[in-house]
Structure 1
Amino acid sequence: MNERIMYVQLKTGYGTDKGPAWISVVRFSKTWRTAYFHERTLHRVTGTARTNFDSNFYDVESGEEYWISGPKRDRTDGRYSSQQPLVEDDAREAYEAFLNGVPLPGREHG
């Protein structure tokens, strides 16, 4: 499994960029098409499978849609909002170092 510190936002049931968001360690399958987050299995959205224009993963059990992306140093992770994510304990140290200019684990070369 590949692990990365990611920005994750729940899209289902919320207005544009109004859903809860996290900076967290997310595990990915070898193909990067499946993500594991908060004991959920999320599949990458492909084709016309999504109902929300603003999601790129969905929960295989509940159908809830999520946006997952790498965090930004300028903390503008929400695409249309300035809402700040909850930084989870498992990601805090590496994320704070990232904000200070250190590459994220697994992203040392880009």
Structure 2
Amino acid sequence: MYVQLKTGYDTDRGPSWITWVQFSKTWRTAYTRGRTLRRWPGMVAGNFYDVETGEEFWVSGPKRDRTDGRYSRAQPEVAEDARAPYERFLRGAALPGREHG
């Protein structure tokens, strides 16, 4: 998944990562990089917030054309354990877990 910190940064200028994210059954909670993120209706900049710090994050699937940041061409940091699947995805393979739709 593509994860970007929104709090404290201009539009799409926060640090971002291609990393593994686990979701709860309801998709209201996401776990990544040692953080617990929750959805909150009506959030302004992000679609999740960190339950400990209150920081807002954007979480979405990665894009093959690498335009994950809407207004920035800054490339995300790729987690080592996600590098091989991400590179296969960029070459046309399905995302892990999405092989059948």
TM bracket, shorter-chain basis:
over 0.9
Give the alignment's TM-score, normalised by structure 2. Answer: 0.95
The alpha carbon displacement at 1:69 in A equals 0.2
Aligned-residue sequence identity (percent) comes to 69
Query: In the alignment, is residue 13 of structure 1 matched against residue 4 of structure 2?
Result: no
Hey, what does 1:27 align to over in structure 2?
22
Match of residue 39 from structure 1 = 34
Q: Given the two structures, how large is their TM-score scaled by the length of structure 1?
A: 0.88
1:54 CA displacement: 2.5
Q: Structure 1 segments of 4 or more deviating over 4 A?
A: none
Say which SS state the counterpart of residue 95 (structure 1) adopts: helix
The equivalent of 1:75 in structure 2 is 66
How far does residue 41 in structure 1 lie from its aligned partner after superposition? 0.5
Amino acid across the alignment from 2:17: W
Counterpart selection for 2:50 from 59, 62, 65: 59
What residue identity is the alignment partner of 2:69?
Answer: G
Count of residues in Structure 1 that have an aligned counterpart in Structure 2 = 101
Cα distance between partner residues in 2 of 1:7 and 1:38: 12
CA distance in 2 between counterparts of 1:84 and 1:94 reads: 17
Greater strand fraction, Structure 1 or Structure 2: 1
Superposed CA RMSD? 0.9
Q: Which sections of structure 2, spanning at least 5 residues, go unmatched?
A: none
2:92 maps to 101
Asked if the contact 1:45/1:55 (under 8 Å) is kept, the reply is no
Question: How far, CA to CA, are the matches of 2:71 and 2:49 in structure 1?
Answer: 20
Where does structure 1 lack aligned partners over 5 or more consecutive residues? Answer: 1-5
